[in-house]
Structure 1
Amino acid sequence: MVNNYPVFKPVFHLYINAENSELVSTFETGKPGKRIFVQIHEGYCDSSDDHYPFNIKIKSGTNWLYLTPDNKLTLDVRLRAETEDGHGVYIHYEGYTYPTPAMNAIFDGSGSSMEFGETEFFIQPVIETDAPKEGWVNNKHFVGKGRFVRNEKGVMGAEYYISMVM
């Protein structure tokens, strides 16, 4: 019997460091909820498999978050990055999570970590590049599991383990 279900191949780790990031604005929208706009200045990806090289530095980006009245936090993130040899990379992902007490503690600075899988926290990255070595990412389907953390300096970040759908 042939297995027709997708297989998830772990390929890289994505980290977005919120140090020097700015909460640009929050506002009430015409619909219930709150829109939160965050400017991103740095981050990186590290390959977890040598057959799928993807080591990049994130140069800039934005995160449009939307917190609904029923406590669902949606993400709309767009990142500009570069490969180690200077090729451009564009990453866009949408996703969602449901805030937990541990996540809220990270947001307010009183906590430092939450566990992967503590709450639903998933993204679907779309990646584009003209880099020869990293070009395997073009036209691939990815899913990621995420969490928020604070590093040893107390700086907040988002961390994801990304798998390719095969």
Structure 2
Amino acid sequence: MSSASHTNDSPDNGDSTNEFKMRTPSLKFMYHLECEMSQENHVVGAQFGTSNARVIMPIVGGTVKGPRISAIIQTMSGADWGLAIGGTGLMRLDARYTLKTDDGHYIYVRSKGIFKPGPGVDINPAARTRMTQDEVEWFTRLQFEASGPYDWMNSVFAIGVLAMDESKILIDAYELTNFM
């Protein structure tokens, strides 16, 4: 470890018997995404009498803007194959879609995450056009397959913080890093 002092020391450092000190990683902004979803979802329903139901939510399009990327979500290039966990308000997310950058490159995005109402909040997502970070825990792990000038995205560990406004899914994507 370098001799530089870090202000983001891990909270566990005080309890560790090891001299090696960990630090909390940083988040580096990658992009803001605005995603348009289809008005029609496909509900597979509960399998084998369980209360869990697969809900397929087609992605119609959208935009991505950030310091190193500007792109659109290819029309009808994917969906979120969510799993609604019956009676909990919890949904496991599993989205896949394709970006086309302004300079003509394609990027495959896979997003696995979780949606759950905040403490004391009762939300029916199907009946809402707006959901804020004050109401829900809505996070995703983003993985990329890219080439050319976007090769750097292949080695990024990214997380997305989600919200919804006017029925558009909003994602601010951040790279998790030890370096800033």
TM-score, scaled relative to structure 1: 0.81
SS in 1 for 2:64: strand
- Aligned pair in 2 of structure 1 residues 83, 115: CA closer, same or farther (>3 Å)? same
Match of 1:35 among 47, 54, 75: 54
**Which residue number in structure 1 is paired with residue 44 of structure 2?**
26
Work out whether residues 102 and 114 of structure 1, in 8 Å CA contact, stay in contact via their aligned partners in 2. no
Work out whether residues 92 and 115 of structure 2, in 8 Å CA contact, stay in contact via their aligned partners in 1. yes
- Aligned pair in 2 of structure 1 residues 56, 103: CA closer, same or farther (>3 Å)? farther
Who wins on radius of gyration, i.e. which is larger?
A: 2
Question: Which structure 1 segments of 5+ residues have no match?
Answer: 151-155
Cα RMSD for the two superposed structures:
2.0
1:5 equivalent in alignment to 2:35 = no
Q: Partners in 2 of 1:90 and 1:127 — Cα distance?
A: 6
Work out whether residues 43 and 53 of structure 2, in 8 Å CA contact, stay in contact via their aligned partners in 1. no
SS in 2 for 1:145: strand
Residue 99 of structure 1 and its aligned partner are, at CA, apart by 3.9
Residue 113 of structure 1 and its aligned partner are, at CA, apart by 2.0
What amino acid maps onto 2:168 in structure 1?
G
Deviations 1:15-59 (A, max 9, x none): 2111x4532333112333111012212012110xx3xx1111111
Question: Which structure 2 segments of 5+ residues have no match?
Answer: 10-22
Q: Partners in 2 of 1:86 and 1:130 — Cα distance?
A: 11
Work out whether residues 8 and 164 of structure 1, in 8 Å CA contact, stay in contact via their aligned partners in 2. yes
- Aligned pair in 2 of structure 1 residues 102, 13: CA closer, same or farther (>3 Å)? farther
Work out whether residues 89 and 123 of structure 2, in 8 Å CA contact, stay in contact via their aligned partners in 1. no
Q: Partners in 1 of 2:65 and 2:39 — Cα distance?
A: 21
What amino acid maps onto 1:81 in structure 2?
L
TM-score, scaled relative to structure 2: 0.75
Residue 102 of structure 1 and its aligned partner are, at CA, apart by 7.6
1:165 equivalent in alignment to 2:176 = yes
What amino acid maps onto 1:118 in structure 2?
E
